[in-house]
Amino acid sequence: MLKKSLLLSLMTFGLTACGGGDIKPDSIKSEVPASTESRDQIKIVGSSTVYPFATTVAENFGRSTSFKTPIVESTGSGGGLKLFCSGLGDNHPDITNASRRIKASEVERCAENEIFDIVEVKVGYDGIVMANSRKSNQMNLSLKDVFLALAKDVPDGSGGLKPNSYKTWNDVNPALSTNKIEVMGPPPTSGTRDAFVELAMEGGCKTFDWIKALKKTDKKAYKSLCHTIREDEHFIEAGENDNLIVQKLNANPNALGIFGFSFLEQNADSVQGSTIDAMPPTFENIAEGSYPVSRSLYFYVKKDNVNKIPGIYEYLAEFMSDRASGPDGYLAEKGLIPMNLDEHSEWKASVLGLEPLMLN
Amino acid sequence: MRPQIQNELRRRNRRNQIKEFVIQGVLIASSFVAILTTIGIVASLVFEAFRFFEKIPLTEFLFSLEWSPQTAIRADQVGASGKFGVIPLLTGTLLISFIAMLVATPLGLLSAIYLAEFAKAKTRDIVKPLLELLAGIPTVVYGFFAALVVAPIIRATGSGAGFDISSESALAAGLVMGVMLIPFISSLSDDVINAVPQALRDASFGMGATHEETVTKVIIPAATPGIIGSLLLAISRAIGETMIVVMAAGLAANLTLNPFEAVTTMTVQIVTLLTGDQEFDSAKTLAAFAIALFLLILTLGLNIIALRIVDKYKKKYA
Amino acid sequence: MPNYILSTSRQMAKRHAREKRFKWYGRIAIFISIAFLVFMFSAIIFRGASAFQQTKISLDINFSESILDPSSSRDPDLLKRANYKPIVVESLLSVIPEVTERRDRNRLYKLLSTGAVFDLGEKVADDPSILGKSKKVWLLASSEVDLFMKGKIDPNVSEDLRRLKDRDIEWIEILKSEGRIKKKFNKTLFTNGDSREPEMAGILGAAIGSFFSLLVCFLIAFPLGILTAVYLEEYAKKNFITDFIEVNINNLAAVPSIVFGLLGLSIFLNFFHLPRSTPLVGGIVLALMTLPTIIIASRSILRSIPQSIRDAALGLGASKTQTTFHHVVPLAMPGMLTGTILGMARALGETAPLLMIGMVAFIVDIPKGVTDVATSLPVQIFLWADSPEKGFVERTSAAIMVLLAFLILMNICAVYLRKRLERRW
């Protein structure tokens, strides 16, 4: 009796393990010459800023077509590009989201792993905000304030540098409050981090003439000076989960959080964005470009996988459709700053034509 | 006996012997899975930790006081400086575990003593399952409770009293972890107290002691090694706990003993380092394995000491 | 003489008082512990009970064929992708005609969940005969409307501090007066997988993922655990190897669960290249974690079976195997099953090891097998707990209630088994 039940359990196990993955709808089998060993679900990784948009499109795509809903993981732009460029094949993602443009070194890495044709898709625009809980007062910061509050080394007033010892906002700028500097931001895997150091930190760093001059003479030192963020308790790396940062802001009214505009919009009832150089972070200001810390959002697709994994082309079609990323689309409702009609049509044509990326 | 029958019996005997042999083989093989698992755990941790120590010296890991692992992931990027000292993580872990033990030890011990010695059978029948219920609650539920209910209450009480308590204070996480440990300590202590032979109790009563005096002056001292063993096992459990601290404790390394501040623990860092960017070449990802190895040695060490104490104690009264 | 009688009775009074105090300490300790339990349960039920209801809005929808299926193809895919927004807006305007501006119409449309049009799509695709007719349909309302109906949004708070504006509230009141907005039982919680929108998020995907993980775990851990326990108790001689195995098992029982996750990551994912985020790998990791518990519990059951049973069987000519598997094990099986169920209950609640093997992605589809990407119920709770939208807070609590219900059920099963089938020797 025992042997029989053991045998039975082994058989059931075998059968259940075989279940799942193999069932494909007939319509797909005829359209795409998929190999029988490939997986049939799109794998997406990457930016936590693009994550809310990618997941919304993925969900709508899954519900309105017979393809499986793509799996989306939030790894950070840098982390995602690393996974993306690690190779072709089922164990590697098909698409990676990025809240900054792919860098030349990453394209090189992709090429090293036999990935030559990458399709770049621009999604829209986004602003990076420094927000705090509505329970506190709104802060008015200048880029210089941001740099002085967060850099690892700051100017010492006589042409040199000293380690950052500012503890309160008042230390940085007498016009600001005496609250302790407590900023939660993304780790280096995040595109938001890259964009923040390039736009905000560097923007504030440049206001010192001698540092600006350094850019021409020693670019590496300039970058290191402007991009390095302090590592004490005043800047806390809060991981790739922007939702969590919003929650922590609710619990700690003194802290500021760095994240994308969509998170500000979706939680406007509990958090507020600080004005940067007197510009409040609003939809209009970011779309016009007058808010100083705004950037474009992208995602990258392996052209080779479009034929291997069912549904990628249709996913692209859904993402670039007017109802999704158009000026009145559902992504705009989620906080995406969409491209204007002309730009959107241009990108739509290039993406649906699967034109490979050319970095100039 | 007819030769056919003899041969038949001989054949059957051999068949049965083979069967016995095969079955015994299967049994031994399945027991080896436990050993394989241990080997697997040790191998995977040691192998990756070794690769980590090729990049970061062991002395820095064990003695440096700074933990700042978020290094740049590209050549043209500027990240953190990459300090990999485990001490701030260890102090964070120990601080939270200490607070947890402060809560769990008196509550767990006193409950166990009362249930073992004083309670009526009906009370025991009701209370024991309730305590077991506390033990069965998943740690993610405790974590949710800690982050969304306990931490705000503590923070509000603190600011009402004039203290600035972080929303990720060691106090919140430690408190809830303590509640989780109460049934653990209670059931282990219960076993230990029941192991004290009746003869000691009878002797004490015979000398005219009250029940309480018997308990405090005879049974507890006799059971002390066993109780210490149980407490060590509880500490080991607290150190290895993950979900409560991931949800309620902080992310930044902080070398402090102040329970009102946010600290991070070894388990939180393992989770943070491994969800997201996962390149098995960078010191950052490998650091998680180094921490895990350190954690494993710590918890196993505590367990071995605890079990040895409890064994010696049980042998004394066997 | 009177002197020391008085002093001893004073002493006795002190001693009795101390005993009384001590007993109270014990009672207070138990009381505090149980109070924590009650506090936790009530906090969770308080937050989660409202999630079992969901607000729905009823509208008379005219399924106009010219808009939805102009070519009369009746192709389900096309029907699903058709543009339902105009017919929904038309229906809304028939109830609240004073909305004229385009921006306001969009706001009115937003009272419904973004998933409502997909529900309509599926409805029409399932039954295309509905085209050309007009029908009354209950559609899912958006999360903000739902929270308002549950009293969780305070209309007196200043307008820019909330996402539901005054105009929205006016419209909701109109719908209420016509009986077109009601709270109904929340089926979506139990029939949907995860979603970006709180009102459409459900636990079915996570529950099935947990089920598959536990299935794999059981199929691996139960036979291995029983066989190991049988070997160690019945067959093994007291030698170095047996001691080594026992020490290993005791140590494994004490290893933190996250280390098992790392084992899964580095060996099963990186070395054996098993599929990431699947219940297959999750089940294997959980099995390795539960194995020591099952072995230790089974061994103690086997030890409690009296030697007389074995002696009797051997005396009647049974072989060692026959004795063990035909007599001892069947008698021990109820106890071993109880231990296994309790081990499974613990595995059900485990989160950390599953995080390490990647079951943390956004997964909408319901898994159909052990090699489909999935998540598990405790991981789903963990992921939802991070979302600050109020709609998710109540859902997280509801998911916790479901998880606890399963656990309590499993524990009751185990205790029942133990009581019914236990034998006193």
Residue C393 pLDDT exceeds 90:
no
Q: CA–CA separation, A324 vs A195, rounded Å?
A: 25
pLDDT at C284: 94
Q: In DSSP terms, which residues pair with C292 in a beta bridge?
A: none
* Confidence label for B298 from pLDDT (cuts 50, 70 and 90): very high
* Nearest alpha carbon to residue A177 among A267, A289, A274: A274
Interval A179-207 mean pLDDT = 87
Closest Cβ–Cβ partner in C23, C263, C393 for B44 = C263
A86 CB near a chain C CB, below 8 Å?
Answer: no
Q: Could you name the CATH architecture of C204-421? A: Orthogonal Bundle (1.10)
* Confidence label for A160 from pLDDT (cuts 50, 70 and 90): confident
pLDDT at A266: 81
Note the pLDDT tens digit of each residue in C230-263. Answer: 999 888 888 888 888 888 888 898 899 999 999 9
Cβ–Cβ gap B71/A188 under 8 Å? yes
Interval A70-77 mean pLDDT = 87
Higher pLDDT pick, B286 / B99:
B99
Cβ–Cβ gap B76/A103 under 8 Å? yes
Q: How many residues does chain B have?
A: 318
Give the contacts of B318 (CB within 8 A, at least 6 positions apart).
none
Higher pLDDT pick, A220 / A1:
A220
Interval C338-350 mean pLDDT = 91
Interval B80-107 mean pLDDT = 91
Mutation target vs B (from C20, C21, C22; most B CBs, 10 A cutoff): C22
Residue A34 pLDDT exceeds 60:
no
A228 CB near a chain B CB, below 8 Å?
Answer: yes
Residue A3 pLDDT exceeds 50:
no
Give the contacts of B268 (CB within 8 A, at least 6 positions apart).
B242, B245, B246, B249, B250, B251
Q: CA–CA separation, C227 vs C299, rounded Å?
A: 10
* Confidence label for A245 from pLDDT (cuts 50, 70 and 90): confident
Element (H, E) at B94: helix B87-113
Closest Cβ–Cβ partner in A82, A227, A251 for B277 = A82
Mutation target vs B (from A234, A236, A246, A359; most B CBs, 10 A cutoff): A236
Interval B187-203 mean pLDDT = 89
Cβ–Cβ gap C256/B242 under 8 Å? yes
* Confidence label for C6 from pLDDT (cuts 50, 70 and 90): low
**CA of A1 vs chain B CAs: smallest distance (Å):** 15
Higher pLDDT pick, A38 / C51:
C51
Residue A30 pLDDT exceeds 50:
no
Residue C201 burial (CB count, 10 A) = 27
* Nearest alpha carbon to residue C422 among C347, C346, C344, C339: C339
Which residues of chain B are at the A interface, by a Cβ-Cβ cutoff of 8 Å? 66, 68, 70-81, 83, 151-152, 155, 166-168, 250-252, 254, 272, 275-279
pLDDT at A57: 93
A74 CB near a chain B CB, below 8 Å?
Answer: yes
Interval A23-49 mean pLDDT = 58
* Nearest alpha carbon to residue A146 among A263, A235, A240: A235
Q: CA–CA separation, A111 vs A117, rounded Å?
A: 9
Residue C31 pLDDT exceeds 50:
yes
Residue A56 sits at the vertex; the CA angle it makes with B141 and C159, to the nearest 5 degrees, is 75
Closest Cβ–Cβ partner in A10, A21, A250 for C369 = A21
- The neighbours of chain A, by the rule of 3 or more Cβ pairs under 8 Å, are B, C
Chain A CB contacts of C155 under 8 Å are none
Q: In DSSP terms, which residues pair with A185 in a beta bridge?
A: A237
Interval A43-53 mean pLDDT = 90
Residues of chain A above pLDDT 90, percent: 26
**CA of A320 vs chain C CAs: smallest distance (Å):** 15
HEC letters along B35-57: HHHHHHHHHHHHHHHHHHHHHCC
Residues 328-367 of C with CB under 8 A from B: 345-346, 348-352, 355-356, 360
Strand A118-133 relative to strand A294-302, pairing: antiparallel
Note the pLDDT tens digit of each residue in A88-110. Answer: 888 889 999 998 888 888 899 89
pLDDT at C178: 86
pLDDT at A15: 40
* Confidence label for C425 from pLDDT (cuts 50, 70 and 90): low
A106 CB near a chain B CB, below 8 Å?
Answer: yes
pLDDT at A13: 41
* Confidence label for A65 from pLDDT (cuts 50, 70 and 90): confident
Cβ–Cβ gap A266/C162 under 8 Å? no
Closest Cβ–Cβ partner in C23, C245, C266 for B44 = C266
Residues 18-77 of C with CB under 8 A from A: 77
pLDDT at C417: 83
pLDDT at A18: 36
C29: nearest CA partner in chain B: B107
Interval A132-156 mean pLDDT = 91
Which ipTM score applies to this complex? 0.88
pLDDT at C169: 87
C421 CB near a chain B CB, below 8 Å?
Answer: no
pLDDT at B294: 94
Higher pLDDT pick, A243 / A172:
A172
Q: CA–CA separation, C88 vs C109, rounded Å?
A: 8
A103: nearest CA partner in chain B: B76
**Tokens matching residue C381:** 């709770």
* Nearest alpha carbon to residue C361 among C282, C415, C418: C282
Closest Cβ–Cβ partner in B70, B83, B168 for A187 = B70
Interval C201-211 mean pLDDT = 93
Strand A271-273 relative to strand A118-133, pairing: antiparallel
* Confidence label for A24 from pLDDT (cuts 50, 70 and 90): very low
* Confidence label for C220 from pLDDT (cuts 50, 70 and 90): very high
Residues 252-291 of A with CB under 8 A from B: 252
Higher pLDDT pick, C6 / A25:
C6
pLDDT at B75: 65
Domains within chain A, CATH numbers bracketed: 2-125+297-352 (3.40.190.10), 127-294 (3.40.190.10)
Chain A CB contacts of B151 under 8 Å are 251
pLDDT at A7: 45
Interval B282-287 mean pLDDT = 82
**CA of B146 vs chain A CAs: smallest distance (Å):** 13
Note the pLDDT tens digit of each residue in A263-288. Answer: 888 888 889 999 999 899 988 888 88
Residues of chain C above pLDDT 70, percent: 97
C382 CB near a chain B CB, below 8 Å?
Answer: yes
pLDDT at A17: 38
pLDDT at C12: 86
Q: What is the full DSSP assignment across A248-275?
A: HHHH-TT-EEEEEHHHHHHTTTTEEEPE
Residues of chain B above pLDDT 70, percent: 94
**CA of C119 vs chain A CAs: smallest distance (Å):** 9
Interval C63-89 mean pLDDT = 80
Q: CA–CA separation, A4 vs C6, rounded Å?
A: 78
* Confidence label for A210 from pLDDT (cuts 50, 70 and 90): confident
Closest Cβ–Cβ partner in C34, C43, C407 for B149 = C43
**CA of A342 vs chain C CAs: smallest distance (Å):** 22
Closest Cβ–Cβ partner in A6, A68, A246 for C223 = A6
Q: CA–CA separation, B95 vs B257, rounded Å?
A: 7
Closest Cβ–Cβ partner in C163, C369, C389 for A19 = C369
pLDDT at A316: 93
pLDDT at A82: 85
Closest Cβ–Cβ partner in A6, A27, A243 for C387 = A243
- Residue ranges in A19-140 assigned as alpha helix (H): 26-31, 51-64, 77-84, 104-112
**CA of C202 vs chain A CAs: smallest distance (Å):** 13
pLDDT at A29: 32
Q: Which pTM value belongs to this model?
A: 0.86
Strand A71-72 relative to strand A43-46, pairing: parallel
Chain B CB contacts of A105 under 8 Å are 74-76
B293: nearest CA partner in chain C: C259
Mutation target vs B (from C27, C31, C36; most B CBs, 10 A cutoff): C36
Chain C CB contacts of A58 under 8 Å are 362, 364
* Nearest alpha carbon to residue A302 among A289, A315, A286: A315
CB pairs under 8 A between B and C: 238
What rounded mean pLDDT belongs to chain A? 83
A241: nearest CA partner in chain B: B276
* Confidence label for A12 from pLDDT (cuts 50, 70 and 90): very low
Residue C139 pLDDT exceeds 60:
yes
pLDDT at A16: 38
**CA of B94 vs chain A CAs: smallest distance (Å):** 20
